[in-house]
A and B are shown apart, each in its own frame.
Chain A
């Protein structure tokens, strides 16, 4: 039972962090960022030295953890801000569909850039092996890593909440998410806020990358996409633009996946994802605006 709870929480953590990365950017510039998954993949491969061999040459991954974590977070933030400056800045006035396709094209560029350097074969990396030992809590044997994932996610969420509520920059960002043009009129610098959102979202991508690599022990170009789909769905179910909603929906999706894995009859288990997506459609039918609808996103007539 406890095992299920922890599985759900740790899967939900990944989805929640991914959803948060998308929701942050959507909040300030109404962009659904499809390139986010590729930023995650980029952070993973930043640990390696470029080579097309099947064996990964761990380069940055050999750093001690107190240097490794900031390094990956910085990588994500840097790439994300770069994307903003080079590409998205030119799309501020474009309609959402155009922006979405542009972000997809950008993700495509990043993915094939990685492909050129690393080839498409999944590579195994053993990152922080001491974390995979099991620990015993209340009679359940849990991998230490799962525990760390959950704790780290909680810390990140807590830190982000404090940042958004207690600092000036956080305040500006929330104001921009609420009503961007009004915030600008009141003296919020658009570029600064948008770049801040991209940096935060990139750092979150870095965090996901670390957790994911430590969990699976492989680096795969496609891995960003798998998390992204769920994160993307979580953002919408949570209510686009609402950060709390994104986190909540991320955890709900994680829980739904794990619970269905356990509860469904054996024959139906391969179809688990189909049930999860069916549930997504149901939720959208009853709450098309999302679980927690953000203010200011509804168009006025």
Chain B
């Protein structure tokens, strides 16, 4: 990643923490305002949705929260390590299928997944337990893949994560007896209330923040900006990357499980290139190195997509009803993304975070 942005500050803090160990939690106290503000933003969106009380809008906001979870999960790895990963949606896929295996009615499971072990067919648990297990499962998968992949860096690592995504997709599309192949898995209980999604989004924001200011997170950010100097100062880069990879994998798995519950149907192709690119685009537009950028990128692009959809469906202003032609929504989205990136190549936020006091750098 380019180290063009002014990032003198983090080295100083990293050095200070490692060398002198100042008063505990000083960094936490200084930065906690960011996740709090972001969580408040999420809560405000949720309350606004409550007040309108419209069903379709409810679903839209659930999608926003899900994307927040996914993009924050991406940020934990991509933002802190600077390695672009195309594979994280694979963990979302793993999480979604775990949720399906654990929550579908055993009667239906017996017919749909003949290859599952019988103890798994018999279990049926509430969605939130299933979601936690899904997150742990995805984290474990990330640990296994990460042990191999984190030895790579730069574009080779990106391609390797991409190969991982394609592998997961191929396996889940073809292992008919366990995953139902390419056909949709139905019967997952649908959760329509927005609160579980809100809570999960806020939890992932706080996990991401806690990781970013932890010793491991700071070391990783140092390695992102100055790999040689960080390695020379004793940062074990593959290890710190692995930590971030596992945490972000778990968050992606959680997002996948909840996504399964929001639509009630999963197919392997839901979790493939389309979702990968839209989530990465949200992260990059918001600002890759910033948690605020991740969250606000989602809110901003989601709002844009939704507005364009409404325009496509037709809006009447006064007596005149007008609608933009079908397909123009995606074209407009692409053009707007290009314009934003041309104007602000580092994303809207770059490396900065929102907070009440003005701060420079991270």
A residues touching B (Cβ–Cβ < 8 Å)? Answer: 32, 87, 90-91, 93-98, 100-102, 104-106, 108-109, 111-113, 115-116, 225, 229, 232-233, 236-237, 240, 270-274, 277-278, 280-281, 284-285, 288-290, 301
Number of interchain pairs (Cβ within 8 Å) = 133
Contacts of A281 in B (CB 8 A): 148-149, 160, 163-164
Beyond A271-B171, A284-B156, 4 additional pairs, beta carbon < 8 A = A96-B155, A116-B325, A240-B155, A288-B151
Asked whether, in the complex, the Cβ of A116 is within 8 Å of the Cβ of B160, the reply is no
- Whether B341 contacts A102 by the Cβ 8 Å rule is yes
- Chain A residues with CB under 8 Å of B155's CB are 32, 96, 236, 240
Residues of B within 8 A of A96 (CB): 2, 84, 155
Whether B327 pairs with A280 at a CB distance below 8 angstroms is: no
Q: A91-B345, A240-B155, A288-B153 are in contact. Are A105 and B338 (CB under 8 A)?
A: yes
Report the minimal beta-carbon distance from A109 to chain B, rounded to whole angstroms.
Answer: 4
User: Contacts A98-B284, A116-B325, A225-B273: A236 and B346 contacting too (C-beta < 8 A)?
Assistant: no
Contact B342 A102 (CB under 8 A): yes
Name the contact of A277 in the complex, choosing from B1, B149, B167, B330 (C-beta under 8 A): B167
Does B203 count as interface, using CB distance less than 8 angstroms? no
Q: Flag if A116 contacts B163 (CB, 8 Å).
A: no
Which of B159, B171, B273 neighbours the largest number of chain A CB atoms within 10 Å of its CB? Answer: B159
Contacts of A301 in B (CB 8 A): 228
Q: Is B335 interfacial (CB-CB < 8 Å)? A: yes
- B245 contacts the other chain (Cβ, under 8 Å)? no
Residue on B nearest A278 in the bound complex, by CB: B167
Chain B interface residue count, Cβ-Cβ cutoff 8 angstroms: 47
Interface set of B (CB-CB < 8 Å, partner A): 1-2, 4, 84, 148-149, 151-156, 159-160, 162-164, 166-167, 170-171, 174-175, 228, 273, 277, 280-281, 284-285, 288, 325-328, 330-331, 333-335, 337-338, 341-342, 345-347
Residues of B within 8 A of A225 (CB): 273
- Given the interface pairs A32-B155, A236-B159, A274-B170, the reply to whether A109 lies near B331 with Cβ below 8 Å is yes
Chain A residues with CB under 8 Å of B331's CB are 108-109, 112-113, 116
By Cβ-Cβ distance, the 8 closest A-B pairs, closest first, are A94-B345, A116-B327, A109-B334, A270-B174, A277-B163, A112-B330, A108-B334, A274-B170
- Contact in complex: B334, A97 (CB < 8 Å): no
